[in-house]
Amino acid sequence: MPNRDWLLEIGVEEMPARFVPDSLTQLEEKMLHWLDENHIAHGVAETFATPRRLTIRVRDVVEGQADVEEEVRGPAKRIAVGADGGWSKAAVGFARKQGLTTADLVLEEYKGETYVFARRHVKGRATVELLKEGVPEVLSALTFPKSMRWGNRRLRFIRPVRWLVGLFGEEVVPFTWAGVTADKVTRGHRFLGAEATIPVAEQYEDILKEQAVVVDIEARRADIRSQLARLEKEKGWQIPIDGDLLEEVTHLVEFPTALSGSFDEAYLELPASVLITTMREHQRYFPVEDANGKLLPFFITVRNGDECSLGKVAKGNEKVLSARLADARFFFEEDQKLSIEKAVEKLNNVIFFEGLGTIGDHVHRIRALAETLADRLELEDGERKTLLRAADICKFDISTYMVNEFPELSGVMGQVYAKQAGESEDVAEAIEEHYYPRFANDRSPKGSAGTLISLLDKLDGVVAAFSLGIQPTGSQDPYSLRRRAAGVIQILADSTWKSLTLSTLFDLALDQLTEDGWLKRPADEVKDELTAFFDLRLKALLQEEGIRYDIIDALLTGESTTPSLMLDKARVLVREVEKDEFKQVVEGFSRAANLADKGEPGLTINRDLLEAWAERELLATIGNAGEAFTKAEARQDAQGMYDEISKLAPVIHRFFDDVLVMDENVANRNNRLALLQQIDALVSRFALFKKIVFAS
Amino acid sequence: MNMQDIILNLQSFWSKQGCVLAQPYDVETGAGTMNPMTFLRSLGPEPWNVAYVEPSRRPADGRYGENPNRVYQHHQFQVIMKPSPDNIQEVYLESLKALGINPLEHDIRFVEDNWENPAMGAAGLGWEVWLDGMEVTQFTYFQQVGGLEADPVSVELTYGLERLASYIQDKENIYELTWVDGVTYGDIFKQPEYEHSKYTFEISDADKLFRWFEQYEEEAKRAIEESLVFPAYDYVLKCSHTFNLLDARGAISVTERPGYLGRVRGLARRCAKLYVEQRERLGFPMLKEGGEENA
């Protein structure tokens, strides 16, 4: 019999668009894993999805499992074979238990001892039979960020399951799951289609197409794109395509038809970001621009249906948008009446973290820390003034109607309103920028005020949360502490302030919390937790840079350093590992480190005991290298630092060649160990070289 | 179609689906969910299907009758079916047809919306239903009510009557809606909207309201001690409405807010628990007739 295609469709009530891609990935992984685990050979898998269905089709699935030879280990030979050389009672019993006779027993070695094994030929079962039993398990194993129950069922799924298709070639696999038994009947578009029978798995897409469902995700996305392009051409518009919006819209419709509508030109007086957010976030519309990128009073919506009564649909959408824009204008006008000072004052009524006061308190800490940093970094007067003003008012827009309605506009509205109120360009920019980076790979702020406030905002957020014992666990991170910490590290890595180490920043933030009377736990305890947490984020940063894991391990030494220097060090090591002489260097350092561990900690060097020339040379070299290293470190010059310690390597090797460290004379031995401890202390300030791995 | 006919059509439609046609509750509620016909009856194993109009008070939304879309009191058409029927989405779409809405001529979508009412310890998953971009119904599968797991799960459909009517009648301002021939929405509600807004924002006496809150809370507890769940629940509703008035007045600071909400939630939870216990003591009488078909 030829192979057949296995088609599995889960029919559900409308799924949230954002969960569809991951659900499909899981379905594919778990289905294929199940097939492999059951020794059912198969070809490639294809997946399909609409808001109402998750589907997988596996090509070329064999009719049945391959037969397998199974071996079961029984008692050891000394028990299984009697004195007469025949099978013992134990062996006979073992064979019987396996449903076999002693004729099926063999002796084989296992971990140095000989055992009796029962050999069994297991006949492969039919794929259809196995699917019927196995698919419910596969489906129950799918997980979702949010799942639900419905009716009388205990089962949880992303949304209620209403039908199932299980088709092996032309044959229905009638498994039962979620109270539904699989058949070959699918459902078409809610309004344009009907139930339809799929005669054979290969015809899935075609059958659904007849029922007004474009089931292939890419085909649907391409369809929407081409409809948008057609509208652009027809109307002479530009329709910028936001990838996330296109993705969402693709997962909101089964049969897409793009149509345009308009709104009152007078609304174009509102800031573009307000218009775009209203259209995109609230209504899933694509905004329309002219050739110069200026917004036009039109929008595009993608309807889940055909061309029937497009005018009516457009009119309904226009009505909704115009009500929303009227609200936005009302907010915009009301917000003009609120002074920045008054808005800042209102922050004292907005909770920051439960138990940690208000946003007003948070801003107070940001401002105080900004002052400290301004001193440390010796900012010039103008820069300092901008920083402090921006720090004072960085959160004022949280008190506005507009941000209340559109939280995603915080910062953006602050910038607009600050400029209107006569704040300087730099201050206005800093208000907007202090929210950057907003997500992984987002840009860092550009101006110095925005950069420092962003750093302090995120830092205080994480430190404050940790001081309350709030930490992310698993997938739970309700205060986005990981994102904030990653932001701190990104800013430090990109910044020009080379003297800000994480350790210093933790101290400053903790001091401020203490001063304001918020710190309820011992500062050093909180600091240890913070260090461990940020180390993980640093590791992630280095991994993203493509740094080898062993180099990362070597660099995460617990020594306080700035993320930018750590990155530079990583880059130096990445270059060095390519060189032949690097192995020598590492061997020298590692040997020194290993021996140094053998001595009592804190041994001191007695110059008078240094006999051999190699010993004296080593001591002299350490002294010089140490000084130069410290200077290079002050310049944050990673290459310079490495160059200094690498000079030690040949001297170390000569030392090991000429001198016996573990001398019988205790004084000599300790003196040499002390030398090695000093080397190790210096070298470790760069990295723990013994963690670096060489391919053998 | 005037508003009265919209209500009559929905009533007749859901009556045919086997719903008890109940009436609005006589204690102030913020939503149809808070009517005991939903809050209490959606608890426990007994099947329950009900539909009713609920005038819902949201003091903070009062706009002196001047805003075309926002009002102190709006009207919800509420449907509860427990357990949720397998074809509930199709039935719901049929109800839109009963209002003269032909799905082929519109864009109807189910857009993810997870509903939560922290004060009542209630949460559910579902959608807002969009009609050409406008939210006309909240469609929710209850997962938790009064802090108790919903089992079986009830489905709740909440039609926003003003929105639906302004769409059907193509009006920009809800005060211009036709309630019945010759009578507008404004004729009936403009004056109360103004007066309730004025009372809420200017006249209400915070000290008195705080006092009442305490007293209602005390009375709710006393009734709970006596195992009288329905009277107790009435006082929980009173607490909730009083809290809403205080909140709208700006009399409750952000730091106090969670505390008050927590007190209401605590009472709601106790009522929920007590209701299920009482029904169990009565042997879940409504399970006897309809129990088997749902097993």
Q: Judging by beta carbons within 10 Å of its beta carbon (0-12, 13-18, 19+), is residue A141 exposed, middle or buried? A: middle
Residues A322, A264: contact at Cβ < 8 Å? Answer: yes
Please give the pLDDT value at position B290: 47
- Indicate the residue among B172, B200, B228 that finishes a domain: B200
B38 and B164, same domain (yes or no): yes
Condensed to tens digits (0 to 9), the pLDDT of residues A555-573 reads 887 666 788 888 889 999 9
Q: Give the range among A76-90, A443-457, B43-57 with minimum mean pLDDT.
A: A76-90
B114 and B219, same domain (yes or no): no
Q: Which residues of chain A are within 8 Å of residue B258 when distances are taken between CB atoms?
A: 354
- Indicate the residue among A105, A122, A139 that finishes a domain: A122
Mean pLDDT of A574-586: 90
Q: Answer yes or no: is A217 within a domain.
A: no
A198 and A309, same domain (yes or no): no
CATH number of residue A648's parent domain: 1.10.730.10
CA B4, CA A666: separation in Å to the nearest integer?
Answer: 104
B127 at interface of A, judged by CB pairs closer than 8 A: yes
Phi, psi of A582 (to 5 degrees): -60, -35
DSSP element (H, E) containing A72: strand A68-76
Q: Do A151 and B85 count as a contact with CB atoms less than 8 A apart?
A: yes
A188 and A48, same domain (yes or no): yes
Please give the pLDDT value at position B278: 96
B22 and B112, same domain (yes or no): yes
Q: What is the DSSP string of A371-385?
A: HHHHHHTT--HHHHH
B133, B167, B295 member nearest A283 (Cβ): B133
Q: Do A319 and B110 count as a contact with CB atoms less than 8 A apart?
A: no
A148, A316, A351 member nearest B125 (Cβ): A148
A568 and A539, same domain (yes or no): no
Q: Do A304 and B109 count as a contact with CB atoms less than 8 A apart?
A: yes
B19 and B112, same domain (yes or no): yes
- What burial letters (b/e) apply to B138-149, b meaning 16+ CB within 10 Å? bbbbbbbbbbbe
Reduced DSSP (H G I as helix, E B as strand, rest coil) percent helix, strand, coil of chain B, to 5: 50, 20, 30
A375 and A522, same domain (yes or no): yes
Q: Do A321 and B255 count as a contact with CB atoms less than 8 A apart?
A: no
How far is CA B71 from each of CA A404, B58, B67, rounded to the nearest angstrom? 19, 8, 7
Residue A127 binned pLDDT confidence (cut-offs 50, 70, 90): very high
A681 and A597, same domain (yes or no): yes
> How big is the CA angle at A24 (ends A207 and A38), to the nearest 5 degrees?
95
| Residues above pLDDT 70, as percent of chain B | 97
Phi, psi of A380 (to 5 degrees): -75, 165
Minimum CA–CA partner of B84 in chain A: A151
Condensed to tens digits (0 to 9), the pLDDT of residues B115-126 reads 888 888 899 999
B181 and B244, same domain (yes or no): no
CA B163, CA A410: separation in Å to the nearest integer?
Answer: 29
A150, A190, A305 member nearest B84 (Cβ): A150
B147 and B8, same domain (yes or no): yes
- What burial letters (b/e) apply to B196-208, b meaning 16+ CB within 10 Å? bbebbbeebeeee
* Residue A108 in tokens: 């084989």
Q: Which of A149, A259, A309 to mutate to test the interface with B (most CBs of B within 10 A)?
A: A149
CATH number of residue B254's parent domain: 1.20.58.180
Mean pLDDT of A294-302: 97
Q: Do A160 and B93 count as a contact with CB atoms less than 8 A apart?
A: no
B68, B114, B255 member nearest A146 (Cβ): B114
DSSP element (H, E) containing A177: strand A176-177
Residue-level length of chain B? 295
Reference A436, options A471, A387, A486; nearest CA is: A486
Residues A513, A530: contact at Cβ < 8 Å? Answer: no
A72 and A58, same domain (yes or no): no
- Indicate the residue among A333, A353, A385 that finishes a domain: A333
Q: Do A146 and B84 count as a contact with CB atoms less than 8 A apart?
A: no
- Indicate the residue among B177, B200, B223 that finishes a domain: B200
Condensed to tens digits (0 to 9), the pLDDT of residues B241-288 reads 999 999 998 888 766 787 899 999 999 999 999 999 999 999 999 986
Residues A259, A316: contact at Cβ < 8 Å? Answer: no
Q: How far B173 CA sits from the closest chain A CA (Å)?
A: 10
Q: Answer yes or no: is A296 within a domain.
A: yes
B169 and B58, same domain (yes or no): yes
Higher pLDDT, B195 or A78: B195
Whether ipTM tops 0.90, in short, is yes
* Dihedral over alpha carbons B177, B179, B184, B185 (to 10 degrees): -70
CA B48, CA B19: separation in Å to the nearest integer?
Answer: 8
Condensed to tens digits (0 to 9), the pLDDT of residues A634-657 reads 888 999 999 999 999 999 998 888
Please give the pLDDT value at position B292: 46
Please give the pLDDT value at position A67: 84
Residue A427 binned pLDDT confidence (cut-offs 50, 70, 90): very high
B113 and B22, same domain (yes or no): yes
Residues A89, A99: contact at Cβ < 8 Å? Answer: no
Give the domain extent around A312.
Answer: 235-333
Q: Give the range among A71-75, A154-158, B137-141 with minimum mean pLDDT.
A: A71-75
Reduced DSSP (H G I as helix, E B as strand, rest coil) percent helix, strand, coil of chain A, to 5: 55, 15, 30
A18, A152, A313 member nearest B132 (Cβ): A313
Give the count of alpha carbons within 13 A of B128, CB side only: 14
B101 and B187, same domain (yes or no): yes
Question: Please, what's the largest Cα pairwise distance for chain A?
Answer: 106
A404 and A313, same domain (yes or no): no
A390 and A496, same domain (yes or no): yes
CATH number of residue B126's parent domain: 3.30.930.10
* Residue B21 in tokens: 């046609």
CA A338, CA A397: separation in Å to the nearest integer?
Answer: 10
Q: Answer yes or no: is A226 within a domain.
A: no
CATH number of residue A359's parent domain: 1.10.3210
Q: Which residues of chain A are within 8 Å of residue B49 when distances are taken between CB atoms?
A: none
Question: Please, what's the largest Cα pairwise distance for chain B?
Answer: 56
Phi, psi of A603 (to 5 degrees): -70, 150
Q: Which of B87, B132, B168, B256 to mutate to test the interface with A (most CBs of A within 10 A)?
A: B132
Q: Judging by beta carbons within 10 Å of its beta carbon (0-12, 13-18, 19+), is residue A635 exposed, middle or buried? A: exposed
Task: Give the A:B interface size as CB pairs under 8 Å.
Answer: 102
CA A682 remoteness from chain centre = 35
* Mean pLDDT, chain B, integer: 93
Asked if residue A563 has a cis previous peptide bond (ω within 30° of 0), the answer is no
B217 and B149, same domain (yes or no): no
Q: Which residues of chain B are within 8 Å of residue A351 when distances are taken between CB atoms?
A: 254-255
Q: Which residues of chain B are within 8 Å of residue A151 when distances are taken between CB atoms?
A: 83-86, 152-153
Question: Residue B91 carries which side chain, given as an amino acid letter?
Answer: V
Q: Do A283 and B109 count as a contact with CB atoms less than 8 A apart?
A: no
CA A419, CA A430: separation in Å to the nearest integer?
Answer: 11
Interface of A with B (CB under 8 A): 13-14, 16-18, 51, 146, 148-152, 159-160, 162, 190-192, 252, 283, 301, 303-305, 308-309, 312-313, 315-317, 319-321, 323, 349-351, 354, 358
A361, pLDDT greater than 90: yes
Q: Answer yes or no: is A550 within a domain.
A: no
Minimum CA–CA partner of A357 in chain B: B255
Domain count of chain A?
5
A243 and A310, same domain (yes or no): yes
Give the domain extent around B247.
Answer: 205-294
Mean pLDDT of A316-330: 91
Residue B289 binned pLDDT confidence (cut-offs 50, 70, 90): low
A359 and A376, same domain (yes or no): yes
Minimum CA–CA partner of A302 in chain B: B107
CA A424, CA A427: separation in Å to the nearest integer?
Answer: 5
Please give the pLDDT value at position B291: 45
Q: Do A316 and B104 count as a contact with CB atoms less than 8 A apart?
A: no
B127 and B145, same domain (yes or no): yes
Q: Do A358 and B294 count as a contact with CB atoms less than 8 A apart?
A: no
Q: Answer yes or no: is A223 within a domain.
A: no
Phi, psi of A113 (to 5 degrees): -130, 155
Residue B295 binned pLDDT confidence (cut-offs 50, 70, 90): very low
Q: How far B217 CA sits from the closest chain A CA (Å)?
A: 25
Condensed to tens digits (0 to 9), the pLDDT of residues B152-162 reads 999 999 999 99
Q: Which residues of chain A are within 8 Å of residue B132 when distances are taken between CB atoms?
A: 312-313, 315-317, 319-320
A304 and A397, same domain (yes or no): no
Q: Do B69 and A304 count as a contact with CB atoms less than 8 A apart?
A: no
How far is CA A284 from each of CA A18, A276, B84, B111, rounded to the nearest angstrom? 13, 10, 30, 11
Residue A229 binned pLDDT confidence (cut-offs 50, 70, 90): very high
Q: Do B254 and A350 count as a contact with CB atoms less than 8 A apart?
A: yes
A580 and A669, same domain (yes or no): yes
B141 and B59, same domain (yes or no): yes
Q: Do B132 and A317 count as a contact with CB atoms less than 8 A apart?
A: yes
Domain count of chain B?
2
CA B36, CA B120: separation in Å to the nearest integer?
Answer: 12
